[in-house]
Amino acid sequence: MPTRRLYYDDAYEKEFSARVMYCEVRPPDVKSGITGTVWGLLLDRSAFYPTSGGQPHDLGKIGDANVLDVRDEGEEILHLVDRKPSEPDVDCCINWPRRFDHMQQHTGQHLLSAMFQERFGLPTVSFHLGAEDSSIDLRGIEPSEAFLEGAERAANQIIFEDRPVNVRYGTADQLSEIGVRKEVEREGILRAIEIESADLQPCGGTHVKSTGQIGLLLVRRCTKIRQDWRVEFVCGGRAERIARHDFQLLRQVAEKLACATDDVVAAAAGALGERDAHFKNFRGMLQRLGEAEATLALQTTPSGSNGLRIVSRVFEGVPAEFLGFFATEIAKNENTIALLARAEDGQLLFAQHPAAGKDVNGLLKKVLEKTGGKGGGTRDFARGRLNDAASAASALSLAKEMLAAG
Ligand SMILES: [Zn+2]
């Protein structure tokens, strides 16, 4: 027996009584997030909206049972609930804040789609109403910033005019005579939603009764999805929350930058410019320091009996880049080899003057084989990292022994 859909005629019916026509235990449906045992219920009449047409299902209560999901099954509405109602005649109520939010987003979608179509010739090919934001997919040329703003402004103008939103019934032919835009293939009596002098669309969803109740429509991002353009938007309570959230963010950024909210872009650009200049300075100083320390190290490191001068050092409290500057300076000197490590993270850097005639990459690999770690490079310059930073000093001693051995 078909379920009488109360929301067709009155989307504002929040409480209703009905008779349970059918009730059976159903297995858990993990895919839908339903892990426990549930009951499937059919009622003779229902105000619960089932997931369809881009609009999510309602929640609420049927007698003492909680509604978990509502599905459109042909002529019937299937309610999934967490327990069997104790009586066959049940009082029901839908979760009104959730439903009204859906009505605001859904009616806003009709309006926004109509504006994109009418003003910019961009048809909507799909609609999605999510938990956070909603989106329509437009087909055609990329909507420019001016398109997005123009459609938003036009939609809000119609919201401010508080135009009636009417439900119209008729056959496909009758509806197309009064201006239904979409081709409809279904037979019989169809339902269409009219926003007075703005839009007429076949739709089985729930809508507010006048555009003023959409509240406000804010267009957010536009991104490319395959060949279409996905425009995200929010209406009503969501627009209020998101505008407040955005302003709080802006204020927090302004506080961090110690400027007025209107000046955040200039202040952020200034701060980033300063940061870049400081970084450049810092890098220059780091290089000079690396070179100076390398010069000092060379002065205090004598050559060994094989004629090689080996500067071996574990650094602590310096950036990784410092090792590079230090090593480069060392390796400028003939017959000189640098064996460096960083205590904090076990980074290793081996470098040599080409005339030193060793293979520091091969040396590094042999050391890492014994101590554990990864790395590689060229014959004259190689980097690696030890698995255990604490073994940095012993890794360098090992490298030194290997060099001495041949
Ligand atoms: Zn609709």
Distance 49 CA to ligand 1 centre (A): 12
Distance 192 CA to ligand 1 centre (A): 8
- Residue 77 carries which side chain, given as an amino acid letter? I
Point out the least confidently predicted range of 8-17, 28-37, 210-219, 325-334: 28-37
Distance 104 CA to ligand 1 centre (A): 10
- Angle at CA 241, nearest 5°, toward 236 and 245? 150
Dump pLDDT digits (tens) for 71-92.
999 999 999 999 999 899 999 9
The per-residue b/e assignment along 73-91, b for 16 or more CB within 10 angstroms, e otherwise, is eeebbbbbbeeebeeeebe
Distance 94 CA to ligand 1 centre (A): 19
Spatial distance between the Cα atoms of 202 and 191, rounded to a whole number of angstroms = 6
Distance 163 CA to ligand 1 centre (A): 16
Tokens of residue 235, six digits = 């209406």
Distance 233 CA to ligand 1 centre (A): 16
Dump pLDDT digits (tens) for 311-338.
999 999 999 999 999 999 999 999 999 9
Distance 201 CA to ligand 1 centre (A): 7
Q: Is 33 left (phi over 0), alpha (psi -120 to 50) or beta?
A: left
The CB density around residue 66, as the number of other CB atoms within 10 Å, is: 13
Q: Is the pTM of this model over 0.85?
A: no
Distance 301 CA to ligand 1 centre (A): 82
Residue positions counted in the chain: 406
CB of 55 within 8 A of CB of 14?
no
Task: Indicate the pLDDT class of residue 268, thresholds 50, 70 and 90.
Answer: very high
> 18 pairs with which residues across the strands?
90
